A and B are shown apart, each in its own frame.
Chain A
């Protein structure tokens, strides 16, 4: 009996110290973490939106949709809405929560899709979520093949076979096509072999964004920056 008390006390004490330490670190790093996430968002928005002269991060509207939040960022030039970016999450990823950012035209045609936060398995699920450039080893060795950024053009987005089918496949995806489904579920989206769960999760997040856009199209495209609802 005395021994059991001693053991529980030791384990309890260690847990207490660990919990205290984590709580402290969480509180201390909360603000810098949010700042880092915001900087990442700015960068991602510049990729998915057409060129704009407003601040899309402040010109946003949040919609509660199907148990999750969907946030829309508007890109304007001279007050005119040229494009939107929807940010939504799915909890069906292999590693749980997965956040998707997608740009689309005011008429609902989907543009570049980015997975901005995820915990998918490296090497398997990441073939769905990650955009990466495959360069040839020969082009690296030969100076003439070096990839020089000519400037002027928009930043090139590295390819991802899965993500690109939404924006540059044989057919255009529109927000009105939602819900998007992978072929295994009777849809038109080609899932990545060996990463069906991750493929599904991205389709799920996109469907939420598209449905939320469809239901709030009027408010989102309406004149002045709408209040979030």
Chain B
């Protein structure tokens, strides 16, 4: 796979939110407005690139059987480090805007998922590109969800009133609204993929690397990579 493809796959073909359906907890909470979506996306992208790089560097030193706890230690330390550095040196406005998202990233399984599925099997450069692409894809997905939810909920975009006098639609601001909007997005994603496949005279199948056969999380105790 070419390096550009490592980057672009996160944007659409393997979009972490809309295709891999990873990191749903922050997605539900943060996609209520575009500003929050952007903040969370940027913060996650940064951590994703960093943790992918570190994991890729140490991937040959870590014994396979204990790799998951090792990844968790690496990711949690990286996030804590970022948090401390940000509150010490970042401009106060940036810290105020992004600071609250940083602790949420520790429990974002996109980061752990990419560490296990990609960075532990690939070189540093590809891993960094994978992190960048996945982070960008996550940001884009969150912001599109956020745009729909914020507009339907408040009539605002980026906290700016687009339609004056829009009635508050509270459902959109809460988790149920997030699930409903996400459902439409997933259906739309699948619809587009299927239509594309049909136009090429094929039936749409999930890419092989997303299937169960490729994922090794169920075989944690095994010593060798599948």
* CA of A157 to CA of B100, assembled, Å: 21
Instruction: Report the minimal beta-carbon distance from A194 to chain B, rounded to whole angstroms.
Output: 6
Would you call A33 and B73 a contact (CB within 8 A)?
Answer: no
* Residues 26-74 of B contacting A (Cβ, < 8 Å): 29-33, 36, 39-40, 58, 61-63, 65-66, 69-70, 73-74
Contact of B170 among A15, A137, A140, A193 (CB under 8 A): A193
Q: Which residues of B contact A21 (CB under 8 A)?
A: 77, 81
A-B contact count (CB 8 A): 102
Would you call A10 and B63 a contact (CB within 8 A)?
Answer: yes
Closest to A37 in B: B87
Would you call B89 and A32 a contact (CB within 8 A)?
Answer: yes
Contact of A33 among B58, B63, B87 (CB under 8 A): B87
Number of B residues with CB within 8 Å of any CB on chain A? 43
Contact of A36 among B29, B40, B73, B88 (CB under 8 A): B88
Q: What secondary structure prevails in chain B residues at the interface with A?
A: helix
Query: Do A123 and B161 contact each other (CB < 8 Å), given the known contacts A18-B73, A25-B81?
Result: no
Contact of A122 among B30, B92, B161, B174 (CB under 8 A): B30
Would you call A14 and B70 a contact (CB within 8 A)?
Answer: yes
Instruction: Report the minimal beta-carbon distance from B144 to chain A, rounded to whole angstroms.
Output: 16
A188 at the interface (CB under 8 A from B): no
* Residues 2-60 of A contacting B (Cβ, < 8 Å): 6-7, 10-11, 14-15, 18, 21-22, 25-26, 29, 32-33, 36-37, 39-40, 43
A135 at the interface (CB under 8 A from B): yes
Would you call A25 and B69 a contact (CB within 8 A)?
Answer: no
* CA of A37 to CA of B95, assembled, Å: 11
Q: What secondary structure prevails in chain A residues at the interface with B?
A: helix
Contact bitstring B123-138, A, C-beta under 8 A = 1, else 0 = 0000000000000000
Would you call A14 and B30 a contact (CB within 8 A)?
Answer: no
Would you call A120 and B159 a contact (CB within 8 A)?
Answer: no
Instruction: Report the minimal beta-carbon distance from B13 to chain A, rounded to whole angstroms.
Output: 28
Q: Which residues of B contact A194 (CB under 8 A)?
A: 170, 173-174
Q: Which residues of B contact A14 (CB under 8 A)?
A: 58, 62, 70, 73-74
User: Which B residues are closer than 8 A to A by beta carbons?
Assistant: 29-33, 36, 39-40, 58, 61-63, 65-66, 69-70, 73-74, 76-77, 80-81, 84-85, 87-89, 92, 95, 100-101, 103-104, 156-157, 159-162, 164, 170, 173-174
User: Which A residues are closer than 8 A to B by beta carbons?
Assistant: 6-7, 10-11, 14-15, 18, 21-22, 25-26, 29, 32-33, 36-37, 39-40, 43, 95, 118-124, 126, 132-138, 140, 193-194
Query: Can you list 30 A-B pairs, Cβ within 8 angstroms, ordered by A?
Result: A7-B66, A11-B69, A14-B73, A14-B74, A18-B74, A22-B77, A22-B80, A25-B81, A25-B84, A29-B85, A29-B88, A36-B87, A37-B87, A39-B92, A122-B30, A122-B39, A122-B101, A122-B104, A123-B33, A123-B36, A124-B32, A126-B100, A134-B156, A134-B161, A135-B159, A135-B160, A136-B161, A137-B157, A140-B160, A194-B170
Other than the known A29-B84, A124-B174, what 16 A-B pairs have Cβ atoms closer than 8 Å? A10-B62, A14-B62, A22-B81, A25-B84, A36-B89, A36-B92, A95-B103, A121-B29, A123-B30, A123-B33, A134-B160, A135-B160, A136-B161, A137-B160, A138-B164, A140-B160
